[in-house]
Structures are given as C-alpha cells and as structure tokens.
C-alpha cells in the first residue's frame, strides 16, 4: 500500500541521481513507514525493469565493448622501449662533442633493451565496469584495481622527447598514501614529488601509462573521464 | 592578441601583465646567474689589459639577449596557457614545450585559494589555486596571473560549482520529502 506522492518523490530523486539510501532516509524522516518506503522502491524497480528491458538489451553490447578498452586498444608504442637508450646515446654523443668521455650511460643501455620489452609485455590495463584495472610485473607481480570514483586527477604529460616523437604519458592519481610502493617509497621521494613520467604502471598513489601515442593518450583520458562521470562516489572526499 | 581558446579564459582572461611579471622575475635570476660568470671573465679581461668598457658591453649584451629570449618564451607560454571549467571537470594545461594537462573532477577539489607573491603585488596580479589530494595537483592546478576582479570571479564560480556538485553526490534532497497522508489501516 503505497502513496503516489512517495512514488513521485522517489522517481524524481532517482532522475536527479540521488542515492536510494538518501531518498529512503529523508522519506522516513518525513514520517513514512519504512515498510511502505521499501514497498515503493520495489514497485518502482519492478516497473523500471519491465519498462527498460529493450533498453538494457541494446546497452549490453556497448557496455561489453567499453569494458574491453585495454592496452590492445591503446598500446604502449615500441618507441617507449628505446626512449631512454636514445636519450642516453644522444647525451653521450653530445658529451663526446664537448670532449667528455662519458660512457656510464651506455652501460645501462643493454639493461633497458632487455628489461623494457619484458615490462611492456607484462603490463596490462583495462577499463573494467567499476575499476581501472592494472596488472604488471615481470618477476614480482602486482595487480591494482582503482575505483573510478576515487580518482583525484588525470594528467597528460609530454617531455621534450615525447614532444619530438608525438607520444605522451597518461597518469591517473588517487589519494592513497603510497599504495604498495614498497621499498621504492624510500628512494623515490623526489621522483614522486616531481611526478615524472619515468615509471610504468602503479606506483605510490598513481598509475602511469607512458609511451602512448598522443591521440591515444587523449582518447584514453576521455574514456576514463566518462567512466569517472558514470561512477560517482556517494561519499565525497572534498572538504569544501 | 588572439588567445581565447576556452569560454573560461574568455570570461576570466589572464592579464597580459603576467608576461612582464614573469619576464622580470626570470631576468633577476638571469642577472644573478650571469654575474657569477661575467665577474671572473671581467677580471680576466682587465688583467689582459683590455679596456674596461669591453666586459661591461659583453655583460649588457648577454643580459639583454637573455631577457629578450625569456620574454619571447613567456609570450609563448601565455598564448598556450589553457584553462577551462567544463561542466564536470576542471582542465588546466600549460607549458609550450613540455605540455602538462591536469583534469580534476569538481567533487575532488580540496581547496580553493587566492594568493600573491611579491612580484604579483607590484603588478596587481593574483594566483587562483585549486588542488585535489595529490601532490601533482598542488603543483599543476593553478591559474596564475589574473586581476582581482577575475580572480574573485574564478574563485566564486569554482566554489559554487564544487558545492553544487557535492550536494548532488551527497544526495541532499532538492525538495523536502512529502509528508505521508494518513492511510486507513496503518
């Protein structure tokens, strides 16, 4: 036995994106019986389910394809593997021109050429329904699920190398304090503050995807922004 | 100068005095940095019995060139400075050579404040800062170099949008809930 006024209130609230918990509590505060309110919710849910069946069917394929957005759609370019080797060779060559023999960088190049393809191959991300999922790690593995609602900001950065070759780094940050950064937390204090695009995957409070094509970085950013808009967090963290 | 890239920048434009302010700030740094080089060079030249006017002329030329290049860079920086308050996000992009773009959802803004450093006070400029809970947003998310009127406008608009967005996600009922009509049998 429910009243049309309560039904109207609930539907208008839902249309405005207010959470059911809030609607329920404000109705109960206004003097409605909890049982009646729940009955009204069930009634509306039944009505919407019977009404929206075709809509849900047509939306299902698109939602599946959306959750398919992953590193295969926006791959890290092969150029990323050679980024630091190229920079090191260039710096060394410039140093030689100025008469300084500076071979230390060059020693590190084989490491990059072996490690980077492995890192790239083992790095996966996916825009899942509720989480931005990242899997990474060659020897030690790490998985991270970042809820869209807690994303604090999205950064697109290009350093000079990136600018010259038309690539960009995308960084997504939440407010967690060094989530799972482990030992690197002690070594990368300055790097963290500089928020450089050096690292790949999740470290500290960020997930970084370097070496994307500029257009891919923009497209992925927009896809994440859409997800953030679709998945607001009920509880706000803002202090304002 | 045609720099209206976004509706927000059109409404709250950056002051062109920002270019002068930044140029002046960097010029002071250039003079200090170059004096470290030019003083020993001058001493060396004077010992090599060159007229005293030569090192002074060299210094002035070098400083003038540095200031001119700084001015051109700041002009470029000013032209590509992008900020837009879209319905859902705040987008700020700066840096002509190494661009850096930050996107913040309104719900995650922790702080909006306006400040001035000493050069800003000379030029009558204000910086509008807004940050989320991350370190990088503290560094990247500010709009600096607007006059007081526009700083207040930006601040007001930001605060208004943020509180409107929060009210929505918190689910504060827009209208008070209807009171139940007595139903027989309850």
Give me the residue spans of the domains in chain B.
Answer: 1-170
In angstroms, the CA A50 to CA A217 distance is 40
Going residue by residue through chain A, which has 240 residues, state the pLDDT in tens, using 9 for 90 and above. Answer: 456 777 777 777 777 667 777 777 777 777 777 777 787 777 777 776 665 544 444 444 444 444 568 888 888 988 998 888 888 888 888 888 888 877 777 778 888 889 889 999 999 999 888 888 888 888 888 888 888 888 888 999 999 999 999 999 999 988 776 544 444 444 444 444 444 446 788 777 888 899 899 999 999 999 999 988 888 776 555 545
Cα B166 from Cα B170, distance rounded (Å): 6
CA pair distance A145, A57, nearest whole angstrom: 27
B111 inside 8 A of chain A by CB:
yes
Instruction: Enter the tokens of residue A23.
Output: 């609607």
Q: Do B133 and A175 touch (CB under 8 A)?
A: yes
Which pLDDT belongs to residue A238?
54
Q: How many CB atoms lie within 10 A of CB A152?
A: 25
**Cβ-Cβ contacts under 8 Å, A32 against chain B:** 177, 180
List % helix, strand, coil for chain A (3-state, nearest 5).
55, 15, 30
Distance CA A194, CA A21 (A): 41
Express each pLDDT in B147-173 by its tens digit: 999 999 999 999 888 888 877 766 555
Q: State both tokens at A46.
A: 């039944």
Place of tokens 């994303």: A151
The model carries a pTM of 0.71
Chain A contacts in chain B segment 73-92 (CB below 8 A): 88-89
pLDDT of residue B40: 84
Residues A62 and A129 sit within 8 Å (Cβ to Cβ): no
The answer for B124, left when phi > 0, alpha when psi is -120 to 50, beta otherwise, is left
List of chain A residues whose C-beta atoms are within 8 Å of the C-beta of residue B110: 237-240
Give the model's pLDDT for residue A182. 45
Cα-based distances in Å from B89 to A76, A151, A221, B135, B162: 26, 12, 12, 18, 10
Q: Are A224 and A172 in contact (CB under 8 A)?
A: yes
Closest CA–CA distance from residue B36 to any residue of chain A (Å): 22
Work out the angle at residue B35's Cα, subtended by the Cα atoms of residues A194 and B33, and round it to the nearest 5 degrees. 5
Instruction: Tell me the CA distances in angstroms from B15 to B1, B64, B72, B123, one per residue in order.
Output: 12, 24, 16, 10
Residue-wise pLDDT for A192-216, tens only, equals 444 444 678 877 788 889 989 999 9
Alpha helices in A98-154 (DSSP H): 104-121
Per-residue pLDDT of chain B (186 residues; tens, 9 = 90+): 556 678 888 888 888 899 999 999 999 998 898 888 888 887 887 777 777 788 788 888 988 999 999 999 999 999 999 999 988 899 999 989 999 999 998 888 888 889 998 999 999 999 999 888 888 888 888 898 999 999 999 999 998 888 888 777 665 554 555 666 555 544
Determine the residue of chain B that is closest to A9 in CA distance. B177
Give the long-range contacts of residues B87-94, CB within 8 A, separation 24 or more: B88/A225, B88/A229, B89/A225, B90/B130, B90/B141, B90/B158, B92/B140, B92/B141, B92/B142, B92/B143, B94/B140
With beta carbons under 8 A apart, name residues in chain B contacting A197.
none
For residue B81, give the 3-state DSSP assignment: coil
């Amino acid at each position: 036995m429910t009243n049309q006024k309560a039904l109207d209130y609930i539907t208008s609230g839902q249309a405005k994106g207010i959470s059911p918990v809030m609607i329920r509590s404000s109705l109960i505060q206004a003097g409605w019986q909890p049982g009646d309110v729940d009955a009204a919710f069930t009634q509306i849910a039944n009505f919407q389910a019977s009404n929206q069946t075709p809509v849900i069917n047509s939306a299902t394929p698109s939602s599946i394809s959306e959750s398919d957005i992953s590193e295969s759609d926006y791959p890290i370019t092969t150029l990323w593997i050679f980024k630091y080797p190229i920079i090191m060779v260039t710096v060394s060559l410039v140093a030689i021109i100025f008469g300084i023999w500076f071979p230390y960088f060059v020693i590190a190049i084989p490491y990059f050429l072996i490690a980077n393809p492995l890192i790239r191959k083992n790095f996966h991300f996916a825009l899942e329904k509720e989480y931005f999922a990242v899997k990474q790690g060659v020897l030690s593995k790490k998985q991270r699920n970042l809820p869209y609602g807690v994303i604090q900001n999205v950064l697109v950065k290009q350093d000079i190398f990136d600018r010259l070759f038309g690539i960009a780094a995308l960084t997504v940050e939440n407010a967690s304090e060094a989530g799972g950064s482990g030992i690197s937390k002690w070594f990368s204090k300055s790097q963290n503050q500089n928020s450089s695009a050096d690292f790949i995957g999740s470290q500290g409070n960020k997930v970084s995807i370097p070496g994307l094509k500029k257009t891919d970085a923009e497209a992925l950013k927009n896809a994440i922004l859409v997800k953030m808009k679709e998945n607001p967090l009920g509880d706000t963290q803002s202090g304002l | 100068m045609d720099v209206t890239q976004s509706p927000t920048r059109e409404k709250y434009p950056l002051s062109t005095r920002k270019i002068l302010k930044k140029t002046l700030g960097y010029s002071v740094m250039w003079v200090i940095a170059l004096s470290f080089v030019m003083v020993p060079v001058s001493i060396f030249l004077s010992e090599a019995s060159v007229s005293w006017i030569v090192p002074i002329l060299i210094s002035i030329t070098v400083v003038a060139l540095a200031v001119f290049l700084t001015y051109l860079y700041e002009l470029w920086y000013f032209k590509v400075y992008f900020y837009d308050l879209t319905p859902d996000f705040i987008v700020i992009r700066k840096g002509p050579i190494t661009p850096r773009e930050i996107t913040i959802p309104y719900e995650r803004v922790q702080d909006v404040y306006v400040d001035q450093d000493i050069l800003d006070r000379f030029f009558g400029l204000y910086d509008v800062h807004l940050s989320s809970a991350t370190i990088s947003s503290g560094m990247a998310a500010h709009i600096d170099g607007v006059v007081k009127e526009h700083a207040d406008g930006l601040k007001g608009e930001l605060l208004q949008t943020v509180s409107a967005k929060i009210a929505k996600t918190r689910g504060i009922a827009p209208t008070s809930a209807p009171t139940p009509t007595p139903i027989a049998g309850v």
